[in-house]
């Protein structure tokens, strides 16, 4: 092997981290929301890394590893964002029913 290259992909991770932070921030005011449980879930899922090797670089005699946040974090981020959307949609419906009843 001529060289070892480690490529850490952060482009998609940055967007996912922003959406998780936004969702957690908007849900933390709900008294029944288990914030610490979700914080632990997010932090544990960040430890799940996906490590792969570039076969073209390997064929050329170079070892190139690609490190990305794993699918588990993507799943947690998607679920948390969906929960945020659902709960806010539900709270908007509740608010509109209260205003109509006045």
DSSP 63: E
- d(C-alpha 65, C-alpha 6), whole Å: 5
Domain spans, the chain: 4-101
6-41, pLDDT tens digit by residue? 777 777 788 888 999 999 988 888 888 888 999 999
Instruction: Give the position of tokens 């709960």.
Output: 87
- d(C-alpha 35, C-alpha 83), whole Å: 13
47-96, pLDDT tens digit by residue? 888 888 888 877 878 788 888 888 899 899 999 999 888 887 876 565 55
Instruction: Give the global pTM.
Output: 0.68
């Amino acid at each position: 092997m001529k060289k070892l290259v480690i490529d850490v992909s952060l482009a998609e991770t940055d967007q996912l981290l922003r959406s998780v932070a936004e969702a957690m921030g908007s849900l933390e005011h709900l008294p029944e929301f288990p914030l610490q449980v979700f914080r632990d879930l997010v932090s544990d899922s960040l430890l799940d890394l996906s490590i792969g090797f570039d076969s073209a670089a390997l064929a050329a005699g170079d070892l190139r590893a690609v490190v990305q946040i794993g699918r588990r974090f993507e799943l947690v981020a998607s679920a948390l964002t969906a929960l945020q959307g659902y709960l806010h949609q539900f709270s908007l419906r509740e608010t509109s029913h209260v205003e109509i009843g006045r």
